[in-house]
Amino acid sequence: MKDELYPSRLELDKSSYEKNLSFLRDYVGHDVVFSSVIKGNAYGHGIRDFVPMAEDCGVRHFSVFSSDEARQACRARTCDSHVMIMGMISNGALGWAIENDVSFFVFELDRLKAAINEAKRIQKPARIHLHLETGMNRLGLEEDEFEDTVRIIKENREYLELDGICTHYAGAESVGNYVRIQEQIENFKEYSSWFKEQGIDPKYRHSACSASALNYPETIMDMVRIGIAQYGFWPNRETYMNFVKKHPDVNAKHKDPLERVLAWKSEIMSTKKVPAGEFVGYGNTYLTSRDQQIASVPIGYAHGFGRNLTNVGIVLVNGERAPVAGLVNMNLLTIDITDIPDVEKGDEVVIIGKQGDQEMTVASFSEMRNFMNYEVLVQIPSGLPREIIE
């Protein structure tokens, strides 16, 4: 139901999400744990609304970047789903994670020691994933720290529950990183085998995100951490073309197996006739070339519709494409509706999504802004209402 207090809203299509899950689970294997990555406010889809929808579709494991996102996920869940922190959690918040059965990555000895201290204090084991440095050179336990890691774990077995051993790849979506990714894959195999030989054998080995799972199926292990693909987007065009090439059945159908979950909609705020030879809005960026009908839409760069879409952005009105005419303001943009008949105040405006036979995809939206899908999605304000469409 439309909330009249807001200038725009998001719709999350549950049936599309179910189709994406079915495709991805068939691909990775139904015995592999599917962890839904919901960092960045569930890639703009909204943790609060997305988590219960995903649970209704059978998801029981969620990955976040930080402890504040973990708290949001814990509050949003409606059943006994597990939450895993892949990135930032301060030592002072480790106690909260342990008490709430939230697992977290350990990529430095300081965090491992702090986790043990908190587990002793609380008298409950910390659930950890050993994050190994395999060549990304960002986060991860270094090879020269492995022996100390094993020793500390063995000395404190009763205070640790070893959920996983993992790594992350440095750009698996691009063929330009092929050699580097192959080296990481080999390093992870070698390192995880070494830990097993030392008696450190966690429940899950996991390394695959959307890009690595789709481009390097050998990275699919006991668990996958799927982000962008579950929302209906390929990591990039290269990944999609590579997948289609390797899977003739997909190519034969000539249909993208992933469906976009999100639609972003607003409405016509006002319409105005502007004579030929007049500037529209602030400054002199747009001059009418004829008598034109201009409509205002209550969306602007404060909502993630970038100022760089001035005079190049497109939205959908009454099933037609309407170009942005003039500067994108903080909370408002103006569009040219001269050639679209019968546009009235209150008519639906689609920023991302389908209307009639037309569609504005996040990809086309991204290309207009020279951004990636990821950047556009996470800039959609968290305060906008989300509605689940069955």
- 386 marked as binding residue: no
Query: Is residue 355, in this structure, part of any structural domain at all?
Result: yes
Using the predicted structure, report yes or no on whether residue 22 has a pLDDT greater than 60: yes
Is residue 230 within 8 Å of residue 20, measured between CB atoms? Answer: yes
CATH number, domain of 168, equals 3.20.20.10
Choice between 183 and 255, residue whose per-residue pLDDT is larger: 183
Nearest Cα neighbor of 372 from 43, 14, 78 is 43
What's the pLDDT score for residue 370? 54
Which of 204, 220, 253 terminates a domain? The answer is: 253
Residues 97 and 213 in one domain: yes
Which of 253, 287, 309 terminates a domain? The answer is: 253
Which strands, in side-by-side order, build the sheet including 270-274?
Answer: 270-274, 292-297, 333-336
Q: Which residue in 39, 169, 191, 231 is the catalytic one?
A: 39
Q: From the CB of residue 181, how many other CB atoms can be counted at a distance below 10 Å?
A: 25
Structural domain tally of the chain? 2
Which of 209, 236, 253 terminates a domain? The answer is: 253
Confidence of residue 278 (pLDDT cuts 50, 70, 90): very high
- 330 marked as binding residue: yes
Residues 151 and 52 in one domain: yes
Angle at which helices 109-122 and 146-155 pack, to 10 degrees?
10
Residues 247 and 274 in one domain: no
What's the pLDDT score for residue 207? 97
CATH number, domain of 267, equals 2.40.37.10
E strand or H helix at 118:
helix 109-122
39 is a catalytic site residue: yes
Summarised one tens digit per residue, pLDDT across range 188-241 is 999 999 999 999 999 999 999 999 999 999 999 999 999 999 999 898 888 888
Residues 235 and 298 in one domain: no
Residues 147 and 197 in one domain: yes
Residues 244 and 267 in one domain: no
